[in-house]
């Protein structure tokens, strides 16, 4: 087979196929060129979804008269000169492919003027060939019009969307460019008029120009910096979501691009807050030293690679996690009470029994000077009653007064001391309980329970409906997750240790994780040059298909944030929580409220369902037309 060199008209069209996928690609490349030229005002105008015409006008530095033809030659660029420049790219363009690629599949006209020039220069090209040239009167900057895109490659037209679909793609590109350049005024127009106008007055102004008030109000500021990686921007509250990922935008060193580590970090943070197929709004501006990033890995520069993915994952993860958790802590429904002795939440039955038993005096309180056999007798009785799950008030506990009266009848000094101290302590406890009831009545009022599932509470002129299962499930999950990350979950040795064969790159990944994996109950040791042995796993994963765990270990994800571990913890929290259609006594509801005194009423369960809804007095008055 004979080898021959392709004509420039052919290889330019091939290159154009990689760079120019649709009209939105043209908008992206031309606007990025304008940004590289130092423009502060950029106008984009499109007709028929960009299929008929795309015009980009800027006030940048312009192109010199002697360079304007060169700009349309393949691989002609002003951004780099030598190969070493690729290691520290600070511009959006650098390959010199965009203009010749666009020109080869369209009819393109360009007008440009530099500062100090008397007139501007104009060119008209058809299919990459110059047909007209001359001078023009204009302001400093550049104007490029691209008409009849793909006119000489009709096969490409078949794969484009409708004009409205292509306009949607252009709007998406312009959104990202505006967010990436909040200090530049970028406007988008079509035949009907203005679509977006950003005045270049900073990030918040850009957000308001692009999105609804509702979305902007549900965004949280993000700020985090570590090891040379800076993460700034906005992320949505744990309760706000979209049904697709199009609202997740990462600007990396000024370039809108994608990276799997960033996407994984977003998913990991929000997986415990959002239901499946719900996605947060995340708008991040990430700065990384130029030497630690490679932008030359995709024809359209849509993806980037980092020299250390774990460092990027960690920075994004902690930036989002800190913002979301701080917001959750601030938004938790907090109840006030003077009772400072409320016990922490364990389980509903344990909680209510424990709180009731706190009303009983301890052995030391009842009989600080009692005889040894008397203390043992009371201790046995206390143990017997505390083992019961039956809820009871102190008045039903009749054995102690009877016991005390018998001792008193003996006429001994010990008996008198016991009974006197007992009466004093009981009076004090009763006073404390009465004070607590008054304080609690002032802070909240339990109205009741509906359908055995929802608690109705009045608090501070608010009407609160609580999903008892979702709220308790979240409390339990947070407790389990904290214990797991602190290494407090019991480890389960494997009866038959599993051998794991790895590649050289995987060996390096696992070696770096051995110590931190051990902290969370996963014990793995080297076993040769290309093998490890898995010796134990956390008890909560003992029934898991270990091949799934091994895939997680071999991935480059941080070792303490396995999605499968989180799912197991959420499942355990769900199974051990109060179920729906479970009717609770007033004492049980009060015991549950005590947990909220300590922890606050959670916003959501681990699966993303809301734990409560709040209606203000004003909301109800509007509902019943008391106010309008």
Full 3-state SS string of 552-571: HHHCCCCCCCCHHHHHHHHH
The answer to whether the CB of 23 falls within 8 A of the CB of 115 is: no
> Rounded CA gap, 165 and 197, in Å?
21
Q: Extract the tokens encoding 454.
A: 């929802």
User: Angle 399-409/372-386 helices, nearest 10 degrees?
Assistant: 170
Residue 160: pLDDT over 80 = yes
> Rounded CA gap, 98 and 581, in Å?
63
> Rounded CA gap, 511 and 554, in Å?
10
pLDDT of residue 276: 80
Sign of the torsion angle spanned by Cα atoms 133, 137, 140, 141: negative
The answer to whether the CB of 50 falls within 8 A of the CB of 20 is: no
Residue 326: pLDDT over 70 = yes
Encode pLDDT of 196-227 as tens digits.
999 999 999 999 999 999 999 999 999 999 98
Highest mean pLDDT (candidates 104-108, 393-397, 509-513):
104-108
- Beta 462-467 vs 454-459: how paired, if at all? antiparallel
Q: Which residue has the higher pLDDT, 547 or 179?
A: 179
pLDDT of residue 147: 95
pLDDT of residue 356: 30
Residue 88: pLDDT over 60 = no
Domains and CATH numbers, the chain: 8-197 (3.30.565.10), 211-331 (3.30.230.10), 348-442 (no CATH), 444-628 (3.30.1540.20)
What would the mean pLDDT of 248-255 be, rounded to a whole number?
A: 88
Percent of the chain with pLDDT over 90: 28
**Sheet bearing 193-197, strands edge to edge:** 129-136, 120-126, 107-113, 141-147, 53-58, 41-47, 185-190, 193-197
Specify the 3-state DSSP secondary structure of 80.
coil
pLDDT of residue 347: 42
Residue 99 banded pLDDT, cuts 50, 70, 90: confident
Mean pLDDT of the chain: 76
> Other C-beta atoms within 10 Å of 110: how many?
22
Q: Which residue has the higher pLDDT, 314 or 573?
A: 314
First to last CA, the chain: 84
What would the mean pLDDT of 20-28 be, rounded to a whole number?
A: 90
pLDDT of residue 565: 72
Specify the 3-state DSSP secondary structure of 109.
strand
> Other C-beta atoms within 10 Å of 92: how many?
24
Residue 125 pairs in a beta bridge with 108, 130
Residue 354 banded pLDDT, cuts 50, 70, 90: very low
> Rounded CA gap, 466 and 332, in Å?
13
pLDDT of residue 421: 61
> Rounded CA gap, 112 and 61, in Å?
9
> Rounded CA gap, 98 and 76, in Å?
10
The backbone torsions φ and ψ at residue 564, rounded to the nearest 5 degrees and listed phi first, read -70, -30
Residue 177 banded pLDDT, cuts 50, 70, 90: very high
The answer to whether the CB of 592 falls within 8 A of the CB of 348 is: yes
Residue 67 banded pLDDT, cuts 50, 70, 90: confident
Residue 18 banded pLDDT, cuts 50, 70, 90: low
Residue 103: pLDDT over 60 = yes
> Rounded CA gap, 41 and 57, in Å?
8
Residue 401: pLDDT over 90 = no
Q: Extract the tokens encoding 233.
A: 């921007």
In the 8-state DSSP scheme, what is residue 287? E
Q: Which residue has the higher pLDDT, 11 or 352?
A: 11
What would the mean pLDDT of 106-131 be, rounded to a whole number?
A: 92
Specify the 3-state DSSP secondary structure of 369.
coil
What would the mean pLDDT of 611-616 be, rounded to a whole number?
A: 89
The answer to whether the CB of 443 falls within 8 A of the CB of 459 is: yes
> Other C-beta atoms within 10 Å of 414: how many?
14
What would the mean pLDDT of 553-577 be, rounded to a whole number?
A: 71
pLDDT of residue 220: 94
pLDDT of residue 16: 54
H/E stretch holding 221 reads strand 219-226
In sequence order, the 6+-apart residues with CB closer than 8 A to the CB of 534 are: 494, 497, 498, 499, 500, 522, 523, 524, 546, 549, 550
Residue 230 pairs in a beta bridge with 225, 287
Residue 511: pLDDT over 50 = yes
In the 8-state DSSP scheme, what is residue 244? S
- Beta 282-287 vs 248-252: how paired, if at all? parallel
Residue 165 banded pLDDT, cuts 50, 70, 90: very high
Residue 64: pLDDT over 60 = yes
pLDDT of residue 547: 74
The answer to whether the CB of 33 falls within 8 A of the CB of 93 is: yes
The answer to whether the CB of 296 falls within 8 A of the CB of 86 is: yes
pLDDT of residue 627: 85
Residue 58: pLDDT over 50 = yes
Measured CA angle at 352 (ends 381, 402), to 5 deg? 30
pLDDT of residue 190: 94
Percent of the chain with pLDDT over 70: 72
Residue 126 banded pLDDT, cuts 50, 70, 90: very high
pLDDT of residue 15: 53
> Rounded CA gap, 160 and 358, in Å?
72
pLDDT of residue 159: 83
Encode pLDDT of 40-56 as tens digits.
999 999 999 999 999 99
Length of the chain equals 628
pLDDT of residue 371: 39
What would the mean pLDDT of 336-341 be, rounded to a whole number?
A: 44
Encode pLDDT of 407-461 as tens digits.
444 445 544 555 566 566 666 666 655 554 444 445 678 888 999 899 998 888 8
Which of 348, 333, 291 has the alpha carbon at shortest distance from 90? 291
**Sheet bearing 229-236, strands edge to edge:** 219-226, 229-236, 282-287, 248-252, 255-256
Encode pLDDT of 457-510 as tens digits.
888 888 899 998 988 888 888 888 887 777 676 778 888 888 888 888 788 878
Q: Which residue has the higher pLDDT, 616 or 417?
A: 616
The answer to whether the CB of 22 falls within 8 A of the CB of 160 is: yes
What would the mean pLDDT of 49-71 be, rounded to a whole number?
A: 91
> Rounded CA gap, 312 and 81, in Å?
30
pLDDT of residue 353: 30
The answer to whether the CB of 408 falls within 8 A of the CB of 417 is: no
Q: pTM score > 0.75 for this model?
A: no
Encode pLDDT of 278-315 as tens digits.
899 999 999 998 888 776 555 555 677 888 888 889 99
CA distances from 494 to 528, 535, 542 (A): 20, 6, 8
pLDDT of residue 372: 38
Specify the 3-state DSSP secondary structure of 351.
helix
């Amino acid at each position: 087979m004979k080898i021959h060199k392709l004509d420039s008209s052919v290889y330019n069209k091939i290159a154009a196929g990689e760079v120019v996928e649709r009209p939105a690609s043209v908008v992206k490349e031309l606007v990025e060129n304008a940004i590289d030229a130092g423009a502060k005002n950029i106008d984009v105008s499109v007709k028929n979804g960009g299929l008929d015409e795309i015009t980009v006008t800027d006030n940048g530095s312009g192109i010199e008269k002697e360079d304007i033809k060169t700009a349309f030659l393949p691989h002609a660029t002003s951004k780099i000169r030598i190969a070493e420049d690729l290691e520290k790219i600070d511009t959006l363009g650098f390959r010199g492919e965009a203009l010749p690629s666009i020109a080869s599949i369209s009819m393109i006209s360009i007008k440009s003027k530099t500062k100090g020039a008397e007139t501007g220069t104009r060119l008209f090209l058809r299919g990459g060939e110059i047909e007209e040239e001359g001078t023009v009167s204009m302001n400093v900057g550049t104007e490029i019009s691209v008409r009849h895109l793909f006119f000489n490659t009709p096969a490409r037209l078949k794969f484009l969307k409708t004009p409205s679909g292509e306009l949607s793609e252009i709007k998406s590109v312009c959104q990202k460019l505006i967010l990436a350049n909040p200090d530049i005024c970028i406007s988008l127009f079509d035949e009907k008029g203005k679509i977006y106008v950003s005045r270049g007055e900073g990030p918040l102004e850009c957000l308001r120009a692009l999105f609804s008030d509702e979305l902007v109000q549900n965004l949280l500021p993000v700020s985090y910096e570590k090891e040379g990686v800076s993460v700034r921007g906005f992320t949505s509250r744990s309760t706000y979501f979209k049904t697709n990922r199009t609202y997740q935008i990462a600007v990396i060193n000024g370039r809108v691009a994608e990276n799997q580590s960033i996407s994984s970090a977003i998913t990991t943070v929000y997986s415990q807050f959002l239901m499946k197929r719900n996605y947060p709004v995340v708008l991040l501006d990430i700065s990384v030293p130029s030497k630690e990033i490679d932008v030359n890995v995709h024809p359209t520069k849509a993806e980037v690679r980092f020299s250390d993915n774990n460092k990027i994952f960690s920075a994004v993860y902690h930036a989002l996690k800190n913002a979301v958790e701080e917001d959750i802590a601030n938004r938790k429904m907090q109840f006030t009470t003077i009772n400072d002795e409320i016990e922490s939440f364990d389980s509903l039955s344990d909680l209510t029994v424990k709180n009731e038993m706190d009303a009983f005096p301890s052995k030391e309180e009842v009989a600080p000077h009692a005889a040894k056999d008397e203390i043992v007798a009371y201790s046995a009785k206390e143990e017997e009653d505390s083992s019961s799950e039956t809820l009871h008030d102190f008045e039903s506990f009749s054995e102690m007064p009877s016991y005390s009266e018998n001792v008193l009848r003996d006429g001994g000094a010990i008996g008198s001391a016991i009974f006197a101290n007992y009466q004093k302590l009981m009076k004090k406890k009763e006073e404390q309980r009465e004070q607590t009831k008054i304080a609690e009545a002032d802070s909240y009022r339990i109205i009741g329970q509906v359908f055995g599932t929802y608690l109705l509470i009045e608090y501070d002129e608010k009407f609160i409906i609580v999903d008892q299962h979702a709220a308790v499930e979240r409390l339990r999950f947070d407790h389990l997750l904290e214990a797991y990350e602190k290494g407090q979950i019991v480890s389960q040795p494997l009866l038959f240790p599993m051998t794991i064969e790895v590649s050289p790159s995987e060996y390096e990944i696992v070696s770096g994780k051995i110590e931190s994996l051990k902290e969370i109950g996963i014990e793995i040791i080297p076993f040769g040059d290309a093998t490890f042995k898995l010796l134990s796993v956390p008890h909560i994963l003992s029934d898991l298909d270990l091949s799934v765990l091994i895939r997680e270990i071999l991935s480059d994800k941080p070792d303490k944030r396995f999605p499968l571990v989180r799912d197991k913890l959420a499942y355990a929290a769900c199974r051990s929580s109060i179920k729906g259609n479970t009717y609770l006594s007033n004492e049980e509801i009060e015991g549950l409220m005590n947990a909220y005194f300590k922890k606050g009423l959670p916003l959501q369960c681990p699966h993303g369902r809301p734990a409560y809804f709040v209606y203000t007095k004003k909301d109800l008055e509007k509902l019943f037309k008391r106010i309008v």
